[in-house]
Amino acid sequence: MAEQSDIFCNEGIIGSSTITTVGTMRIVLAKDGVTSTHFMVIPMEHRDHIDEFTGQETADFNEALSLIRHVAERRGIASYRLISMVGAESGSTIAHYHMHVIGVTSADRNDEKFGILMANPGARPIHYSIEELPKRARELRAEFDAAKGRTSH
Ligand SMILES: [Zn+2]
């Protein structure tokens, strides 16, 4: 694993769009969203690939996915897509492992553009400005905290 410097390694950039953290993982609001329920799970330490995760990171990653699922369910969304692009040929533009979690309703799925939105951030219907992104992430923190309360063991 090479030393990397990318926006997901830069606390000054990624910190402002972080909704909450789960141990070694952060849950981040997507700046350009496919749907209104579009988050990313990103390890705090730089990882190129998911198979570089430590045991703790794998456990935290699973817990973060579970938390997002509960947030989606509270919104009445039972379906979602997990999308992770690794390597430039895949269309990935950031070489820091990240998993997109996108809640999908039948209305989203029936949108004729839905299938092509992942590969083209400019075409996605949700856009947060640099000013809006941290504000929205802070607002979402309460929703995640409520879901955490419900899922705690
Ligand atoms: Zn990185």
Interval 30-75: pLDDT, tens: 999 999 999 999 999 999 999 999 999 999 999 999 999 999 999 9
How many A from CA of 8 to the centre of ligand 1?
A: 5
* Per-residue pLDDT reduced to its tens digit, 73-97: 999 999 999 999 998 888 888 999 9
The answer to whether 126 and 35 are in contact (CB under 8 A) is: yes
* Per-residue pLDDT reduced to its tens digit, 88-146: 888 888 999 999 999 999 888 777 777 777 777 788 889 999 999 999 999 999 999 99
* 32 strand-pairing partners: 127
How confident is the model at residue 148, as a pLDDT?
Answer: 87
- Show the domains of the chain with their CATH numbers: 11-112+131-139 (3.30.428.10)
The answer to whether 54 and 124 are in contact (CB under 8 A) is: no
How many A from CA of 125 to the centre of ligand 1?
A: 27
How many A from CA of 94 to the centre of ligand 1?
A: 8
State the Cα–Cα distance between residues 41 and 44, nearest whole angstrom: 10
Is pLDDT above 70 for 1? no
How many Cβ atoms from other residues are within 10 Å of residue 124's Cβ? Answer: 18
Task: Please name the residue that has the structure tokens 């504000």.
Answer: 135
DSSP secondary structure letter of residue 94: -
How many A from CA of 97 to the centre of ligand 1?
A: 8
How many A from CA of 111 to the centre of ligand 1?
A: 33
How many A from CA of 4 to the centre of ligand 1?
A: 5
